[in-house]
Structure 1
Amino acid sequence: MAIDATHWLSLLSPTFSFSLWSKTIPVLAAATPEAEKGPLVLAAVLLSLVIIYFASKIGAELSNWMGFPPVLGELVGGVVVGISALHLLVFPESGSSASDSVLMTFLQGTSGLSLDTIGEVFQTQSEVMSVLAELGVIVLLFEIGLESNLKELMAVGIQAVVVAVVGVVVPFVAGTAGLMLLFGVPAIPAIFAGAALTATSIGITSKVLSELGRLTSKEGQIILGAAVIDDVLGIIVLAVVASLAKTGEVDVSNVIYLIVSASSFLLGAILLGKVFNQSFVAIADLLKTRGGLVIPAFIFAFLMAYVGAAIHLEAILGAFAAGLVLDETDKRKELQKQVVPIADLLVPIFFVTVGAKTDLGVLNPAVPSNREGLLMAIFLIVVAIVGKVVTGLAVFGQPQLNRLAIGVGMIPRGEVGLVFAGVGSASGALSEATEAAIIMMVILTTFLAPPLLRFVFQEPASVPAKESD
């Protein structure tokens, strides 16, 4: 009867079910393991969040104490708890299984479930955490959009386009040609590696700029605009090389579709801002219950993110566009304050997860299979840094601009670079050495960018794009 009572109470109250889990799980696991996977997944997710928040806070505080941007500490914290060190938070994408996770081992020991069942829990928990991480970066880009200024982004639009194009073409050509000529890498893997060099992590760069108080400077606006355009160009490049790897030829119709849809989406978001602002304010004024402002804002942000994903762009671009649109409303300052605590909860999940999925083991020269990758990685890292730093030289008509800061702001590849590596690996186009080299390039550019941005922004900033609120 005790089991039956617990079962019915679990239907009435998930909280009650979870509180009884630790007492009744050994009996229930033996009787109905399928019924217990739900509470176990919940337990795994909750413990994962504890690990993430602890790692992010400790890392951010230490990083801030040492004079570095807090986001760097969150990334390092993720590395410490992830696949590279403590194995507290690991993911199947890194080649890990449930037996590699300290968290899953703990749950299996306390629940008595079979290895197969705990493996299913591990898979589901990893999927949930990955979704939360994606949600975190969507909220981050929405927040960044609110802090930006649509008019000023349009004002630096030409410079941003030039920076983005140079930042895509130079590393792509140099990386692809160098791998083929210097290392004898076949064309398709070399093209994949060159494509990975074109990426820029708008999430990492924008977060660092915001922490440094330079997001609204002219340099910050050019970096941000260029990173958005770079993301769009990167998606198109990825589509091209992915189709090349699958069929050996480029699907021209798909490339044309991506170009048209990306341009239409961004231009449509800008035009939408001119007609949507007053309607949003009117709706917000009519709502009198809690969340009357922030809930409609997130409805709009998530809808825009969905549209971005649905047309095969990036959800983060839709969220950023939503932030730009709402930035023009009279409720902007109030909305910014309400979004901050939500971002404080969700954004660290993204950065810690990026760090946790990063395997520094590919940097170990003692492993013979890593040595060829190390040589290629050194080459790719040089091209990755130089290929983005030169983008600052492409800016024209701004003699007082910190061009070095613009180039450095485009360096981090972050999660975007990992996407390229993942697609290349899944297609079977990359050798182990080439894949390791790409991953090492992504790791070092991601971790080098925050302290380098701090260093290059030590001099006085140019005239802000808008007054701070």
Structure 2
Amino acid sequence: MPPLLFNQFDLAPWSPIAQVAAEDINLAEISPLILAAVLLSLVVIYLASKLGGEICARVNLPPVLGELFGGVVVGVSVLHLLIFSEGAAVEPSVLTTFIQQTAGMDPTISGTVASTASEVISVLSEIGVMILLFEIGLESDLEGLLKVGPQAALVALVGVVAPFSAGTIGLITLFHVDLVPAIFAGAALTATSIGITAKVLAEIQKLTSPEGQIIIGAAVLDDILGIIVLAVVASLAKTGTVEVSNVLYLIGSSVVFLVGSIVLGRFLSPFFLGMVSRLTTRGGLLIPSLVFAFVLGYIAVILGLEAILGAFTAGLVLGETDKRRALEEQIVPIADMLVPVFFVCVGAKTDISVLNPMVPENREGLIIASFLIVVAIVGKVVSGATVYSPPGINRWAIGIGMIPRGEVGLIFAAVGSASGALSKSLEAGVIVMVILTTFVAPPLLRVVFKTDEEAVDAPSLASEVAELPPDG
């Protein structure tokens, strides 16, 4: 969530540093403890990501699914090793308690240490998804994306309008939910997690396929549309009215940013390559490339967009240069180090206790969630059916690739909860929808691509059998 959007919604995030100042805590005294908490958190994250990824890889499931499951196990749902502040004071995690017992940490500062460490891990997670989208941009074909642009735009538009309208109307008519909460929950259905889908496409080597290009293009546009929808519904929840000027600003800044970045990047790329060729120290290619990605990410944030859009655009531009292969090889170790932090954190922040039907408070939420899940899946699958070319394209794969809500859906739930727009049952329903769509999409995506490949291979196998000479 860009800081600008927090300001727009009057949802300023809780600051651990502000608490340090308020409690008159010696920052120099707690800094080593914060570092210790961050280091132990990273140990847990890396172990969870590798164990989960390896298990899923061995049963022919996407490794990213294992990283998400690993995050669930070490997060708020099971082991409580990783606890995140999410804009409020955070209870000490098991790791913080361990540090308290082994390092003699004063219990009165454990909350501050836990909150600050969780903020650091969250920042690393955001950088991780930026690196992932930068890598995806490098591997994508800009010309291919431009060719599928109209189809990607249609998929994104239908993928926003269909679930939003069906979800909002259904909640009002079937569950008698008030207008503003229904609109907010319907808006949560519009999100698409580009990070999760892109990782799966890269793992199954379908990123540069026509389906992959349409999915990525539509997911980028979906991200922009999601930000605009979030701004509209948050304004509606806060004031009861929609600020048209704010909506027009977001639309205009999105178009200017994407088009301007690509055009300007193509114009400046010869100067970039000339500068890189004259550098003689280590990281002569990687560091300037990351600087470019982070600058575009910063510009995106101050415009009220997502930093990942800036990183993705930077990858697209640099992917058109003759340094693409060298840069891809150099970015892989960085991605291996930071990207798992993002996926494990998504899982760790997911509270699956809302899935327990034995808790009376959860039952209404689960009923609403069942409806939201159906709308969430059907609404995105329908968007894939709108693709009109090329012949033989896998429309199922495109629709399923748009299903996962991931961290984007959690942002909608968090903003809706903080603004008071969502009731407990409706918030639980949204969270269950986010969980199910996030975890069901990766294996389904692999299945539909595999089924498509088998269908293509079957005619060629039949023709080979027909050409065999008769016996004798």
SS of the residue 1:335 aligns to: helix
SS of the residue 1:90 aligns to: coil
From 55, 59, 70, give the equivalent of 1:66: 59
Following superposition, the deviation at residue 110 of structure 1 comes to 2.1
Equivalent in the alignment of 2:317? 325
Matches within 5 A, 1:175-214: 175-214=167-206
| TM-score, length basis structure 2 | 0.89
1:313 maps to amino acid: L
Equivalent in the alignment of 2:438? 446
Q: Tell me the distance in 2 between the aligned counterparts of 1:412 and 1:203.
A: 9
Q: Tell me the distance in 1 between the aligned counterparts of 2:276 and 2:393.
A: 39
1:87 maps to amino acid: H
Matches within 5 A, 1:392-407: 392-407=384-399
Following superposition, the deviation at residue 272 of structure 1 comes to 1.7
Matches within 5 A, 1:169-180: 169-180=161-172
Equivalent in the alignment of 1:289? 281
From 203, 221, 228, give the equivalent of 1:236: 228
Query: Residues 85 and 119 of structure 2 are in contact (CA less than 8 Å); yes or no, is this contact kept in structure 1?
Result: no
Q: Deviations over 1:360-382 (max 9, x none)?
A: 00000000000000000000000
Equivalent in the alignment of 1:45? 38
Q: Deviations over 1:158-209 (max 9, x none)?
A: 0000000000000000000001110011111111110000000000000000
1:81 aligns with 2:74: yes
* Cα 1:401–1:309 shift into 2, 3 Å: same
Q: Deviations over 1:40-80 (max 9, x none)?
A: 00000000000000000111111100101110000000001
Equivalent in the alignment of 2:467? none
Equivalent in the alignment of 1:225? 217
Query: Residues 89 and 111 of structure 2 are in contact (CA less than 8 Å); yes or no, is this contact kept in structure 1?
Result: no
Following superposition, the deviation at residue 36 of structure 1 comes to 2.5
Q: Tell me the distance in 2 between the aligned counterparts of 1:273 and 1:290.
A: 24
2:212 maps to amino acid: G
Query: Residues 74 and 348 of structure 2 are in contact (CA less than 8 Å); yes or no, is this contact kept in structure 1?
Result: yes
Query: Residues 78 and 354 of structure 1 are in contact (CA less than 8 Å); yes or no, is this contact kept in structure 2?
Result: yes
Following superposition, the deviation at residue 107 of structure 1 comes to 1.1
* Cα 1:250–1:33 shift into 2, 3 Å: closer
Following superposition, the deviation at residue 92 of structure 1 comes to 2.1
Following superposition, the deviation at residue 269 of structure 1 comes to 1.7
Q: How many residues align?
A: 431
Equivalent in the alignment of 1:165? 157
1:124 aligns with 2:116: yes
1:276 aligns with 2:236: no
Following superposition, the deviation at residue 33 of structure 1 comes to 6.4
1:135 aligns with 2:127: yes
From 363, 366, 374, give the equivalent of 1:374: 366
SS of the residue 1:342 aligns to: helix
Equivalent in the alignment of 2:142? 150
Following superposition, the deviation at residue 35 of structure 1 comes to 3.5
2:175 maps to amino acid: F
Per mean C-alpha deviation after superposition, the further-off stretch among 339-348 and 276-285 is: 276-285
SS of the residue 2:453 aligns to: coil
From 348, 358, 374, give the equivalent of 2:350: 358
Identity %: 65
Q: Tell me the distance in 2 between the aligned counterparts of 1:461 and 1:190.
A: 42
Following superposition, the deviation at residue 279 of structure 1 comes to 1.2
SS of the residue 1:98 aligns to: coil
Query: Residues 94 and 357 of structure 1 are in contact (CA less than 8 Å); yes or no, is this contact kept in structure 2?
Result: no
Following superposition, the deviation at residue 276 of structure 1 comes to 1.9
Q: Deviations over 1:209-248 (max 9, x none)?
A: 0001000000000000000000011110000001001100
Q: Deviations over 1:325-382 (max 9, x none)?
A: 1011110010000000000000000000000000000000000000000000000000
From 100, 105, 118, give the equivalent of 1:113: 105
2:192 maps to amino acid: T
1:311 aligns with 2:297: no
Query: Residues 162 and 379 of structure 2 are in contact (CA less than 8 Å); yes or no, is this contact kept in structure 1?
Result: yes
Q: Tell me the distance in 2 between the aligned counterparts of 1:34 and 1:192.
A: 40
Per mean C-alpha deviation after superposition, the further-off stretch among 320-329 and 271-280 is: 271-280
Q: Tell me the distance in 2 between the aligned counterparts of 1:58 and 1:427.
A: 38
Unaligned 5+ residue runs, structure 2?
A: 1-24, 457-472
Per mean C-alpha deviation after superposition, the further-off stretch among 46-55 and 86-95 is: 86-95
1:339 aligns with 2:334: no
Equivalent in the alignment of 1:436? 428
Matches within 5 A, 1:410-429: 410-429=402-421
SS of the residue 1:168 aligns to: helix
Following superposition, the deviation at residue 94 of structure 1 comes to 9.1
Q: Tell me the distance in 2 between the aligned counterparts of 1:33 and 1:108.
A: 17
SS of the residue 2:86 aligns to: helix
Q: Tell me the distance in 2 between the aligned counterparts of 1:290 and 1:219.
A: 38
Equivalent in the alignment of 1:14? none
1:242 maps to amino acid: A
* Cα 1:294–1:34 shift into 2, 3 Å: closer
1:144 maps to amino acid: I
Equivalent in the alignment of 2:243? 251
Per mean C-alpha deviation after superposition, the further-off stretch among 266-275 and 107-116 is: 107-116
Q: Tell me the distance in 1 between the aligned counterparts of 2:455 and 2:314.
A: 27
1:419 maps to amino acid: I
Following superposition, the deviation at residue 95 of structure 1 comes to 7.4
2:73 maps to amino acid: V
Q: Tell me the distance in 2 between the aligned counterparts of 1:159 and 1:97.
A: 44
SS of the residue 2:111 aligns to: helix
SS of the residue 1:443 aligns to: helix
Query: Residues 219 and 462 of structure 1 are in contact (CA less than 8 Å); yes or no, is this contact kept in structure 2?
Result: no
Q: Tell me the distance in 1 between the aligned counterparts of 2:126 and 2:26.
A: 30
